[in-house]
């Protein structure tokens, strides 16, 4: 019996068959499997269909599956493939690439439908009769992910071995949609984007800036305890710096175009590391200074393709919880363990219950192109990270061709409260840049040695981490992290002065408090505050003014009744602590 991945791949062909049945002049892109399902890209002649066509397509797919078509595989020469797909320009482009790279060209035939595909596939659509599938959404997607290419229509679908699995997945997706950070970010006035400023360049609104500053304060305090020193570096540098660091030879496609300044090329920095190396190299270093931990929430800019931008999760401007740790060889393992413990500290603080470790390795076939060409060093450093993970006794898996260009890394995948996976934290072991920058320290015998560099970013970027937190908390931030902790509402204008007095008292206690002066009914004000996920709402009227008290409502618990102001301050401060 075929596995679910093979069934999903075969269903993609069924989708293409159904689309061609309804729109015969459609040009086909590709139809791979993805997590939980598959998609297929189409170039429709005329307006693309909407989601209202899903039911019709699903019925057609079901009918095709009942036809018991076999999946017949053939390996053919390029000339024959070009004849078969003469009316399919995207397939012809793929055939030519396969021919140039001397790769195998294979096709699969199901009834009258033929697709260019490496496989594998099921033997017959008989194997799909028990599969539960559903078309989910339509999106635009550039051919091969490049905005220079035509925009295709991508139809996404999910598929599972049982109806219950499909039902549970759809329920989880509905919850994930409710928690979508793009939707919540707009509703809670956390961030925005401006076409005039540019794609992928987030603008932090006042509420978002508060959260950003609180996260940075948290990191600064924790890093001070851990012995980090803070630095501040420019956002542009001369071309020669990025040639030396290896970014231009190996990372140029992800960098912005150069700026001509006084006849010399300057680039926006994509990463902080070469700037921190300049800090290290600013004076001679002794072995006694190591480990030297340099930290900075530096502003970086990376060119991401337009089709890959996604809210705060994939942006072109970012502030990273970055640090570079310069260590002696005998300190490498212990320092990496400390960094991983720091990751775990933060994740526990934010209520992350599940993490997964990925050891990201190089691909020796890509040496000199994607990766620094130092084969022996790659093997040695990958071994070090593997040993650290084993000594920490954490579950991990290995992923080839996922390393940074300058060294292997441990990527830490974390899961939100509803089980959605995010790539956030990273620990990278860099053996290449110290040599390229000539970084040295004097050992206990007075001789010069080269340090290792550990790159780490446990809180990721402000952008990605706040995007995660919005979805993790569904916008209901814990009190310490909420942009506004208390909203005060007067029953009527007669009690505005008392409401403002309470506002001042709480503000003097360093609480983030807002007095609601909107021209709305009391019920509407309370409802709006609840929609803003306000941790506490204080309502004041005649009774509260006379007794010098406040009526308190707590998010998730409702009305707490009347309280003394000092008691409320003690309660909220205890919660913040």
Q: How confident is the model at residue 373 (pLDDT cuts 50, 70, 90)?
A: confident
Say yes or no to pLDDT of 66 above 70. Answer: yes
Q: What are phi and psi of 37, to 5 degrees?
A: 180, -135
Mean pLDDT value across residues 360-380: 80
- Residue 499's pLDDT is what? 95
Q: How far apart are CA 348 and CA 474, in angstroms?
A: 18
Domains of the chain by start residue, with CATH: 4-176 (3.30.980.10), 187-472 (3.30.930.10), 484-576 (3.40.50.800)
- Residue 367's pLDDT is what? 79
Please enumerate in sequence order all residues whose Cβ is within 8 A of that of 343, keeping only pairs 6 or more positions apart, or say none: 355, 412, 425, 427, 458
Give the strand pairing for 37-43 and 151-160.
antiparallel
For residue 5, count other CB atoms closer than 10 A to its CB. Answer: 12
Q: How far apart are CA 56 and CA 125, in angstroms?
A: 19
Give 37-57 pLDDT, tens digit per residue: 999 999 998 888 888 899 999
Say yes or no to pLDDT of 291 above 90. Answer: yes
Strands (E), 370-464: 396-399, 409-415, 421-430, 441-442, 448-449, 452-456
Residue closest to 293 by CA, chosen among 245, 336, 236, 347: 336
pTM of the model: 0.81
Q: How far apart are CA 74 and CA 119, in angstroms?
A: 11
Q: How confident is the model at residue 514 (pLDDT cuts 50, 70, 90)?
A: very high
Residue closest to 217 by CA, chosen among 230, 206, 227, 207: 230
Residue closest to 322 by CA, chosen among 466, 465, 460: 460
Q: What are phi and psi of 156, to 5 degrees?
A: -95, 145
Say yes or no to pLDDT of 364 above 90. Answer: no
Mean pLDDT value across residues 339-344: 93
Q: Are 399 and 358 in contact (CB under 8 A)?
A: yes
Mean pLDDT value across residues 402-407: 79
The gap from C-alpha 205 to its chain's centroid, in whole angstroms, comes to 20
Give 257-271 pLDDT, tens digit per residue: 999 999 999 999 999
Task: Find tokens 């306000």 and name the residue.
Answer: 534
H/E stretch holding 553? strand 549-554
* DSSP state string for 435-461: HHTT--EE-TTS-EEPPEEEEE-TT-B
Assess whether the previous peptide bond of 291 is cis (omega < 30° from 0): yes
- Residue 525's pLDDT is what? 94
The mean predicted confidence, pLDDT, of the chain is 92
Strands (E), 22-95: 27-28, 33-34, 37-43, 72-75
What 3 state SS string does 331-361 have? HHHHHHHHHHHHHHHHHHHCCCCEEEEEEEC
Percent of the chain with pLDDT over 90: 76
Assess whether the previous peptide bond of 120 is cis (omega < 30° from 0): yes
SS3 call for 422? strand
Q: How confident is the model at residue 426 (pLDDT cuts 50, 70, 90)?
A: confident
Residues 128-150 as b/e (b if ≥16 CB within 10 A, e otherwise) read beebebbbbebeebbbbeeeeee
Residue closest to 422 by CA, chosen among 382, 459, 476, 385: 459
Residue closest to 497 by CA, chosen among 485, 488, 509: 488
Q: How confident is the model at residue 428 (pLDDT cuts 50, 70, 90)?
A: confident
Q: How far apart are CA 5 and CA 122, in angstroms?
A: 10
Say yes or no to pLDDT of 155 above 90. Answer: yes
Q: How many helices (H) and strands (E) does the chain have?
A: 18, 28
Helices of type H across 157-272: 163-178, 181-187, 206-225, 239-245, 247-251
Helices of type H across 128-189: 163-178, 181-187
- Residue 1's pLDDT is what? 59
């Amino acid at each position: 019996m075929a596995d679910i991945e093979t069934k999903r791949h075969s269903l993609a062909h069924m989708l293409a068959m159904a689309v061609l049945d309804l729109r015969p002049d459609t040009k086909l892109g590709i139809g791979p499997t993805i997590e939980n399902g598959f998609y297929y890209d189409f170039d429709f002649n005329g307006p693309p269909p909407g989601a209202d066509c899903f039911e019709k397509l699903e019925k057609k797919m079901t009918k095709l599956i009942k036809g018991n078509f076999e999946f017949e595989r053939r390996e053919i020469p390029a000339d024959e493939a070009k004849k078969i797909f003469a009316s399919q320009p995207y397939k012809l482009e793929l055939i030519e690439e396969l021919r140039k790279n001397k790769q195998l060209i294979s096709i699969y035939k199901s009834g009258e439908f033929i697709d260019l595909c490496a496989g594998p596939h099921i033997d017959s659509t008989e194997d799909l009769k028990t599969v539960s599938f559903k078309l989910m959404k339509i999106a635009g997607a550039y051919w091969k992910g490049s905005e220079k290419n035509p925009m295709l229509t991508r139809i996404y679908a999910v598929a599972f071995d049982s109806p219950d699995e499909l039902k549970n997945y759809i329920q989880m997706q509905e919850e994930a949609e409710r928690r979508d950070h793009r939707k919540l970010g707009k509703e809670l006035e956390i961030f925005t984007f401006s076409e005039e400023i540019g794609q992928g360049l987030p603008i932090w609104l006042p509420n978002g800036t508060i959260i950003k500053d609180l996260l940075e304060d948290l990191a600064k305090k924790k890093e001070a305890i851990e012995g980090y020193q803070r630095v501040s570096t420019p956002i542009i540098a001369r071309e020669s710096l990025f040639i030396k660091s290896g970014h231009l030879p190996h990372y140029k496609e992800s960098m912005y175009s150069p700026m001509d300044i006084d006849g010399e090329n300057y680039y926006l920095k994509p990463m902080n590391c070469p700037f921190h190396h300049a800090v290290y190299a600013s004076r001679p270093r002794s072995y006694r200074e190591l480990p030297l931990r340099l930290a900075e929430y530096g502003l970086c800019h990376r060119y991401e393709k337009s089709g890959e931008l996604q809210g705060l999760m994939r942006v072109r401007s970012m502030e990273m919880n970055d640090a570079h740790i310069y260590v002696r060889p005998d300190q490498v393992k212990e320092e990496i363990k400390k960094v991983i413990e720091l990751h775990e500290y933060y994740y526990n603080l934010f209520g992350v219950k599940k993490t997964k470790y990925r050891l990201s390795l190089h691909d020796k076939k890509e040496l000199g192109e994607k990766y620094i060409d130092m084969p022996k060093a790659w093997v040695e450093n990958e071994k070090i990270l593997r040993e650290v993970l084993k000594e920490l006794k954490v579950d991990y898996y290995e992923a080839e061709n996922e390393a940074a260009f300058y060294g292997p890394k441990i990527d830490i995948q974390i899961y939100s409260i509803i089980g959605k996976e995010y790539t956030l934290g990273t620990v990278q072991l860099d053996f290449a840049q110290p040599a390229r920058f000539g970084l040295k320290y004097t050992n206990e015998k007075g001789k010069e040695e080269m340090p290792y560099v550990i790159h780490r970013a446990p809180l990721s970027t402000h952008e990605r981490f706040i995007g995660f937190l919005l979805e993790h908390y569904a916008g209901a931030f814990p009190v310490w992290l909420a942009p506004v902790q208390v909203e005060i509402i007067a029953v009527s204008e007669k009690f505005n002065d008392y409401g403002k007095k309470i506002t001042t008292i709480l503000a003097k206690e360093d609480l983030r408090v807002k007095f609601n002066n909107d021209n709305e009914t009391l019920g509407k004000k309370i409802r709006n505050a609840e929609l803003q996920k306000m941790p506490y709402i204080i309502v004041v009227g005649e009774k509260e003014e006379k007794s010098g008290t406040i009526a308190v409502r707590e998010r998730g618990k409702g009305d707490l009744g009347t309280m003394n102001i000092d008691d409320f301050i003690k309660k909220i401060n205890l919660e913040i602590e």
